[in-house]
A and B are shown apart, each in its own frame.
Chain A
Amino acid sequence: MEFFRSVSIDWLGKKWYFLGFSLIFSVAGLISMGLHWSQIGSPVPLGVDFRGGTEVQVQFKHTPDVAAIRAATIAAGIKDASVVIYDVPSTNQVLISLPEQQNESSLDAGRQQIVDALNAHYEEPAVRNVQVVGPTVGRQLEVQALKATLLSMAGMLVYLWFRFQLIYGVAAVVACFHDTLITVGAFALTGQEISLTVIAAILTLVGYSMNDTIVVFDRIRENLHLSRKETLPDVVNRSINQTLSRTVLTSGLTFLTVLSLYVFGGQVLKGFSFALVIGILIGTYSSIAVAAPMLVAWQQWREGKGGVASLPAAKRPKV
């Protein structure tokens, strides 16, 4: 059985639609990030591991009454605690969080106060998860996450430069950046928190998007090597079409596994799998709609300037 036997879609002819599509989502994400920035001082809602603060996840024997818990915490002298139902209501869980504290010693006090208040009012509240993060650590993590992302992109750029040519690396990295931007934008738009595990997911999607792009680039390189008469746009179109079957299959299957993670992975993996669900869709799209057209645009620009009109073909390594 085969889905795509011989397709001949003119992908490059649709580049303006692609550009429009990418722009709409990027700009929507950016605007949403701007709104968040003006409200909470960061482009996306941050999880407690970045933001700092205290989070206590408690499970009760019976359905918890959020208002009563809030009253209990206030009675215990804890101001501005937020109390929300966690996960699906049937699991009887609530998440109580305190905002970031000025210094580390008052953090711990907050956690103890919450636990004491609950113990005083409820029979056997089971504390399932406690996170107390001081301002220092949150900041360190932010810096580290950013550093890791940029470095991994730089690492891939260098590898592609070495295996293909600089322009291939640049195009692939731009595509990855595009994917990251839109995925983070999706978090901003849906108001979901970015935690450390979400960062892991974003880094994965960078790898994935790169993977997809390389498959197309590899084919372009091979085709350029085989036929020197064809124009670059034709070669690129043909390469995308030839790999289309693989692209759709792989993305589809990976999407299925990630979707199963999103559906069955539970609350803890929600953010992680959400990032991947978005990331895989957008990563597949960007290899065809961002990375490949960039190669062509670059070459056309070089020709327009009267520069060397050679195709950005690299020698395909010996098989």
Chain B
Amino acid sequence: MKKNLKNKILLIVAVLLVFTYGIIGIPSGVSGKALLDAISSRIHLGLDLQGGAHLILQVEVKEAINADTDNVAARVQQDLKGANLAFSQVIKPQPLTRDSAGKYGGKPELIEIDGVSPASNSAVRSLLDSKYANEYDISGGSDTPFTLTMKPLVERALEEKTVEQAIETINDRVNSLGVSEPKVAPYSLGANQILVELPGISDLERVKTIINSTARLEIHAVVGTPYQDEATATAALGGTVPPDVMLAHFSGLGAAGSNDSVYALKRVAVVAGSDFRSADPGTDSNTGQRTVRFTLTNEAGERFYDYTSKNVNTSMAILMGGRVREVANIESAIHDSGEIRGTFSQEEVQDLSKLLRTGALPASLDYLEDRTVGASLGADSINAGVKAAVIGVLVVMAFMLFYYRGSGINADLALFLNLIILLGFMGFSKATLTLPGIAGVILTIGMGVDSNVLIFERIREEIRAGKAAAAAVDQGFAHAWVTIVDTHVTTIVSAAILFLFGSGPVKGFAVTLTFGLAANLFTAVYVSRVIFDAHLNKLKSGEMVSI
């Protein structure tokens, strides 16, 4: 009985063509170099193979919460004033602090309203209820001060938004580095962490300056005059720094220089990071000094106008990365554009305007982990990995031919096709090939061989039991199939779990292993069967298969 295999063979050839296209696309030529270029443009190498930087950043979301409650505190103050309700102050009882080891303290989610007279208690309460109850839990009021506590859900949402914003900002910034295919994504392992992968970049310092220049540009009102150091400032403020005031060091480049001075600033910024719409480097036409011209968003522009018109002849400080960069006197009301005139170097001016354009980071970032793999190490690894894989495959193929004779060709073809499908998959899916990924390929080869061995051993058993060629092949495949499904599904289950819960190298490994196993079900069973059937068709009656 001859089987018609035409359709099956067509299917196999089609699959072969499709996945070959997946690997090389349509190459520009047939020379070795053109092919290599075509492959490298489709199969993406991981950082460990092509070199690059890998960073894990912690977004300090508490800072964003602190900044948010700062703003709300200012709004509450305005609202109460607007409603003519008497109070002594709106403060944050325990604002955010950070010690030298980088640990955060305080309760940035709290706002307190002090000195509300008992008579206006209910009016204050209803004002707060109507405007702030959605986002804050409001407590106190009779004998104790009113306290607004940010709701945990709102806090969580704000944290998420902060991380999202940070990702966007970092993305913009690394794009300005000209990195091809950078990856900036939430890092699933820890809360509020970001993974940054920059292929081909090995100068970590440059990356860090660009990413992390917190260039959180802010404009604050100055309280009093500059002081020599923090102690003098604290003393001048009456022994303790009031909750609505903060101290900041001056660090104008090349300015008074070694003379460190300390400014007391209003804690709430007049204009903060996300209020800037654009910024451009420029020079002052009179003095020739380098400047940064900025434009504010409409809403911030109005706020800024409002503030500057009411505070003519007071000072405001421009704060960058927590340090005072310039202190300017307000000569007249400013609308939505201005100029920062500090003493900048050329690079600083350019960096600053670039950073302002790409938006400010909503909170500062800490580095939890960074790795850089030099390009030469990457090249060495890929050579070693490929060499090991090729040697492994060749040894296995030679052995199959030797041990199973005619059927060994069958197994080797299936193995070869398996590799093509696996690599083609990677080309189509844009999955990244990493070093553990190469190891995954090698293991796929192992599983592929296993399937063939299972089938062949079974066929041999059936032949020993006295079956004719066609029946033996049929039974061999049928019995081995159950085992093959069980082994593959179990391994795919564990690879899937690795993919879901693993990260980095583990993930790359899981991806290649899963693809490889799926391909193997097709090649070791389907393709191998078709080749057998084609062979059987040619056998004369009573002849045995070569196995």
A: residues with CB less than 8 A from B are 1-2, 57, 59, 102-105, 107-108, 111-112, 126-134, 136-137, 140-141, 144-145, 147-148, 151-153, 155-156, 159-160, 163, 196-197, 199-201, 203-204, 206-208, 210-211, 214-215, 218-219, 222, 242-243, 245-246, 249-250, 253-254, 256-258, 260-261, 263-266, 268-269, 272-273, 276, 316-317, 319
Contact = CB atoms under 8 A, between A and B. Distances in A.
Contact of B399 (A131, A253, A272): A253
Given A102-B101, A254-B450, A129 B384 contact: no
Interface of chain B, helix or strand or loop or mixed? helix
B453 A57 contact: no
B457 to A, nearest CB: 5
A260 B505 contact: no
A266 B479 contact: no
A156 B489 CA distance: 9
Nearest to B501: A148
A276 B392 CA distance: 14
B334 to A, nearest CB: 37
B494 A137 contact: no
B371 A211 contact: no
Contacts of A242: 461
A45 B189 CA distance: 23
Contact of B396 (A130, A133, A256): A256
B518 interface: no
B454 A268 contact: no
Given A127-B374, A152-B494, A197-B436, A260 B101 contact: no
Interface stretch (B173-181, B306-314, B375-383, B420-428): B375-383
Contacts of A250: 446, 449-450, 453-454
Nearest to A245: B457
Contacts of B501: 144, 147-148, 151
A127 B442 CA distance: 30
B442 A137 contact: no
A99 to B, nearest CB: 16
Top 9 A-B pairs, shortest CB-CB distance:
A266-B384, A257-B392, A254-B446, A152-B494, A128-B374, A264-B388, A128-B377, A152-B497, A260-B392
Interface string B468-482: 000000000011011
A276 B442 CA distance: 11
A253 B483 contact: no
A136 B491 contact: no
Contact of B482 (A1, A266, A273, A316): A316
A147 B189 CA distance: 12
Contact of A265 (B202, B205, B388): B388
B385 A254 contact: no
Question: What does DSSP make chain A's interface, helix, strand, loop or mixed?
Answer: helix
A137 B369 contact: yes
B402 interface: yes
Q: What's the interface size class on B, roughly?
A: 35 or more
A243 B479 CA distance: 12
B506 A199 contact: yes
Nearest to A2: B460
B503 to A, nearest CB: 7
A104 B58 contact: yes
B376 A126 contact: yes
Contacts of A151: 497, 501
Nearest to B494: A152
Interface in B477-511: 478-479, 481-483, 486-487, 489-491, 493-498, 501-506, 509
Contact of A258 (B442, B453, B487): B442
Contact of B486 (A111, A144, A214): A214
B505 to A, nearest CB: 5
Contact of B388 (A107, A196, A222, A261): A261
Given A129-B373, A129-B374, A254-B449, A141 B494 contact: no
Contacts of A163: 486
Contact of B446 (A130, A203, A206, A253): A253
A148 B385 CA distance: 25
Contact of A207 (B190, B393, B490): B490
A173 B37 CA distance: 45
B189 A137 contact: yes
Nearest to A254: B446
B390 to A, nearest CB: 9
A265 B505 CA distance: 16
B509 A210 contact: no
Contacts of B513: 204, 207
B204 A130 contact: yes
A118 to B, nearest CB: 14
Nearest to A280: B446
B443 interface: yes
B368 A104 contact: yes
B90 interface: no
